[in-house]
């Protein structure tokens, strides 16, 4: 995957999880706005890091956070299906008790 901010390829030992590798994405490019390129270059320089490595790390963090979010939504949906939830009134009552304490 080439990243335009610094041009280069993601090394095989990068932080990206390759368990679901899709060969159609092998030549994918990430297009950044000039402002994003500038911010990435500045941040990489401040940290003494390569812009490609920094972008890969940011994408890996985003993907991990997105996976956690999807899992949390699934857990919430399961709880709702089981009837394990609070009504608006119950939440309001608990918050009022908390702030009165």
pLDDT tens, position by position, 50-81 = 999 999 999 999 999 999 999 999 999 999 99
pLDDT tens, position by position, 76-87 = 999 999 999 999
At residue 1, the pLDDT reads: 37
In three-state secondary structure terms, 62 is helix
Q: What b/e string do you get for 57-90 counting C-beta neighbours within 10 Å, with b at 16 or more? A: eebeeeeeeeeeeeeeeeeeeeeeeeeeeeeeee
pTM for the model? 0.60
pLDDT tens, position by position, 14-36 = 445 556 666 666 777 889 999 99
């Amino acid at each position: 995957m080439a990243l335009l901010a610094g041009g280069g390829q993601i090394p095989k030992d990068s932080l990206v999880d390759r368990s679901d590798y899709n060969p159609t994405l092998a030549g994918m490019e990430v297009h950044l706005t000039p402002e994003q390129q500038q911010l990435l270059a500045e941040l990489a320089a401040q940290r003494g890091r390569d812009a490609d490595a920094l972008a890969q790390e940011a994408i890996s963090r985003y993907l991990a956070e997105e996976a956690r979010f999807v899992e949390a939504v699934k857990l919430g949906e399961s709880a709702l299906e089981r009837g394990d939830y609070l009504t608006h009134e119950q939440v309001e009552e608990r918050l009022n008790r908390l702030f009165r304490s």
